[in-house]
Amino acid sequence: MSSTTNDFDFQKFSSILDKSRKQSKKKEYQCCIPGCNEVALLHSHLVPQSALKKYICDDKHQLIQNQIDEIHPMVAVKTGEISLETFYTIGISEAMSMPIFCKKHDNDLFCEFEGDADSADPYNPRFQILQALRAIGALRYRESRLLEQNTIKSSLSEFYVGGVYNDESQMYQNLVHRYDSTISNLYKAVETDDYDNYEFVCFELEPLKLAICDAFIDDTDLKEHIMDDEYSIPVKALYINMIPKNNNSYLFIGYDKKNVSNALIELLGKWKTAFKDGLDIKVLYVILCHCSNNWCISPDCDSRIIEYLYNNYSNDRMDVIF
């Protein structure tokens, strides 16, 4: 039975969505590394925890992240009690983490940066690509989980079978395939120690209690998608990362030279100009709006960033997305 708008019941919709979110979070997801069939760790971290502990956390080892609200029922969104995206205070063990890599790959790839807060080098090509790998792995998990949620919803109600919901599931599946291709290229670069296909620029900024491991995707080339029947073309992305080290914060942004659009290069050019003379808080906020929530801040971060985020973030981010 195909879904129709006339059958829509928000109370039932919110109940099914709440169930699908809870069940999809409990699912065991596969490691994103090509050829690996192992189950991913529940908390595979996007940023070295040692750096978060030393430079970003408050005294209680807490961080703030902005996420889709999954604690309150969806009816609370409709009534205006909460917004769809909500700022959460979260402990360091769970902050900036999700099921991306299995235990072996998580250890083999990232252990050298976990013991010492200052071991991560934002100018090192290997570390840059590993952070890009983490960022795309996180986006892949997001699409995989949305796909799982649709599967659960269709099992709970015929309303979610066929029509737009099948199209939506296919879209999530196609994106997972494209992320797989991107991950394959990044992992090959790490395995062969060959980073010539990637370009990064690094900005040395004043210290901020903020960490980013994310990517901004340009998915506007519809002609390219039509020609890609198997959805195997890597995504066009800017890899956006920020880590603290010693007395500075380092914002490093890069891309795959073979898979980048003119629009992304122009965007990066604007950001390079803005940071030429040091930190520009408003531009940094704009960069966060281009990210997909894979960033965290300390509760006592720069008050200007906090003010932008709490007052404007949800609306400004929607403007970027749409």
Of 16, 150, 14, 127, nearest in space to 78 by CA: 14
Q: What is the rounded CA–CA span in Å between residue 232 and residue 248?
A: 39
Q: Is 10 helix (H, G, I), strand (E, B) or coil?
A: helix
3-state SS string for 241-280: EEEEECCEEEEEEEEECCECCHHHHHHHHHHHHHCCCCCC
Taking only the tens of pLDDT, the chain with its 322 residues reads: 444 445 567 777 778 888 888 888 889 999 999 999 999 999 999 999 889 989 988 777 788 887 655 544 555 545 555 555 677 788 888 889 999 999 999 999 999 988 888 899 999 999 999 999 999 999 999 999 999 998 998 888 887 888 888 888 888 999 999 999 999 999 999 999 999 999 999 999 999 999 999 999 997 865 566 567 778 899 999 999 999 999 999 999 999 999 999 999 999 999 999 998 889 999 999 999 998 889 999 988 889 988 888 888 877 887 776 5
CA separation for the pair 263, 270 (Å, rounded): 11
Output the CA angle 174-147-220, nearest 5 degrees.
40
pLDDT of 84 reads 54
What is the chain's alpha carbon radius of gyration, rounded to the nearest angstrom?
Answer: 20
Model confidence over 97-121: pLDDT tens digits?
A: 999 999 999 999 999 988 888 899 9
Condensed to tens digits (0 to 9), the pLDDT of residues 177-230 reads: 999 999 999 999 999 999 999 999 999 999 999 999 999 999 786 556 656 777
Supply the pLDDT for residue 67: 65
Evaluate whether 238 touches 255 at the Cβ level (below 8 Å).
Answer: yes
Confidence (pLDDT) at 230: 78
Structural domain spans, the chain:
10-321
Closest CA to 241 of 128, 84, 154: 128
- Residue 6, amino acid: N
Compute the distance between CA of residue 252 and CA of residue 128 in angstroms, rounded to an integer.
8
Helix (H) or strand (E) holding 63: strand 62-68
